[in-house]
Structure 1
Amino acid sequence: MKAFVPPIWLIAGAVAAVALGVVGLGALALTGGSDSDDVTAKPTPTATATEGEGGDEGEGDDTATPTPTPTPTEEVVPAPDSIPVEPPPSPRSYGVSVLSKSTTDDQLAADGYVHLAHRGWGDLKSGNCSNACASVTGNGVFYPPGMEEAAREAAADLGLSTVQPSLPSMRSDRVSVVLVNRPAVLKPS
């Protein structure tokens, strides 16, 4: 039985292909790959041996199949300082209703409205107090759940000291300022 000896050009070509593959992968690893952040597995070239001419011994196919070499992917996690965080809404962005319970000052709610508007409050309404504040006997600021800070700021802007949870008959989507008499910060118009 005669042993198969591949021609020298086949051996040299296979060695050159393997060497180029190793050098290419080394260069790729040193340069960090492409400019793309997408890291995917790519097949690594391997040498293939083919049966030479005259192979009448029926030894089968000696062709090697390239096997993909997975490249580990790296998840980029931003540093805690660089994660965008939405600031909480400003207390002055909540809705405020300025309500007058005065029987003698018909401009009280309007003056309170203007005073808060000049201090940066945006979503303001004014009007007369209805049954919603029938039990209120003095100036005060009433807040629904989650709006206490806004109520305290509105009270400070108006020079009021009474801040408490809304009465069941008051609106649940906005702070209610009830003015029974004119606070010192409001000059008559």
Structure 2
Amino acid sequence: MSLPPRAPRSRDERGVVLSTRLLALCISAVAMAGLVYLANDPDEVRPDQATAVRSTPSATPSPSATVAPSTAPLTRKPTPVKPAETYVVVFNNTRTAGLAGTVAEKAKVAGWNVVGSDNWYGTVDGTSVYYPPRLKQAAEALGRDLGITRLKPSEEPMQFDRLTVILTDDYS
């Protein structure tokens, strides 16, 4: 009596026997992981990060070339600051009672969307407007409106969807 044929097997470097199906599944999983990595490549240049490509003129001009490429670098136009659409919180880090509320009201009068004011507990090195990267221009504008010249990137525990104003004893 003869035995039914077995599925072909292959051995890895340690001598472990793997079935052909399992080996095919492993290879497929590695291939899929590679495709996912390539699709989500962090080094990929996105259209909003593209740099200008400069070409050197050839000795013989192309008859189809009608417009010379620009050698000026691509620049983004600054987006206009919309105070009414920018969240702002104001914190008092002084012993002057009500300072955060007073400055919050000043920001509201200037058109900013003030969503809160309170006391700040901790140490900061001076009155500052803290901003997440996308709101740097707004921080500059708010600083001008409130007479604050020190701007700093937001840090924990600040919220990163708004501007944070922290007032210290140097605020006049």
TM-score when normalising by structure 2: 0.50
Q: Identify the structure with the greater strand proportion.
A: 2
Q: Whose Rg is larger?
A: 1
TM-score when normalising by structure 1: 0.45
